[in-house]
Structure 1
Amino acid sequence: MEYILIGLLSFAVLLLVLSFFKRDKVNDIEDQLEQLSLTVMQENYQMKKRLKILEEELLFHDDDLHKTLKK
């Protein structure tokens, strides 16, 4: 009976030690999600920047057209 108890306790300690060295899948997923979030934010920023440039070009051309029509 004592051998079984010692064996189970040893097995529990071994599993505890192995759990510290096991790779955490949740952390990997969190890192991937964070990377994806940063990528989406960068793409969003670039798209807003391009849209602003296009809007400025359209406004500039629209102002030129109005000036031409008023003459």
Structure 2
Amino acid sequence: MTAVIIILLAAAIILFVLSFTQKGENKHFEEELEEVASQLMHENYELKKRVTVLEKAMNIDKTVLKEDDDTSSAPSPTPKMKELLKKQVITLYTTGIATEEIIEQSSLSKEEVEKIIEEYLEH
């Protein structure tokens, strides 16, 4: 019985010593993991920054396309879409937004926006 206790005590001491050496290896892995996580966060930030730049560029391209809309043949909106656009224009107008901004926000021409506003004011 005493031999079993001595063997268990020796195994416990050996495992205790090994546990200290294992912490150093885990620390190395933790540092690598933190470095990879930091790199991923930095890359994510850079990608988000690029996306916002592209979104701004696309917005500029959309305004240029709206100005050149007279030459392009855009598909005509459905009656439901027309009704939604009218409601959008009326809502924007009643909140005090200028006609030029309404034209920029909607896909309608200046004449169409003015016609919708005139119809709204008549009723």
Q: TM-score, normalised by structure 2?
A: 0.39
What is residue 50 of structure 1 aligned with on the other side? 46
What is residue 60 of structure 1 aligned with on the other side? 56
Supply the AA of the counterpart residue of 1:57.
V
Higher RCO structure (Cα 8 Å, ≥6 apart): 2
User: What SS does structure 1 have at the residue aligned with 2:53?
Assistant: helix
Shift of 1:28: 1.4
Q: Where do residues 9-28 of structure 1 align in structure 2 (5 Å cutoff)?
A: 24-28=20-24
Supply the AA of the counterpart residue of 1:31.
K
RMSD of aligned alpha carbons: 2.4
Q: Tell me, which stretches of 5 or more residues in structure 2 are unaligned?
A: 1-12, 68-123
Considering fraction of residues, name the structure with more helix.
1
Aligned equivalents of 1:41 and 1:65: distance in 2?
Answer: 36
Identity value in percent: 13
Aligned equivalents of 1:67 and 1:36: distance in 2?
Answer: 47
Please point out which of 35, 38, 51 is paired with 1:39. 35
Please point out which of 41, 65, 70 is paired with 2:66. 70
Shift of 1:25: 3.0
Aligned equivalents of 2:45 and 2:32: distance in 1?
Answer: 20
Q: Deviations over 1:2-58 (max 9, x none)?
A: xxxxxxxxxxxxxx6xx85x8x43111101001001101100110010000000000
Larger-gyration structure (1/2)? 2
Supply the AA of the counterpart residue of 1:58.
L
Q: TM-score, normalised by structure 1?
A: 0.65
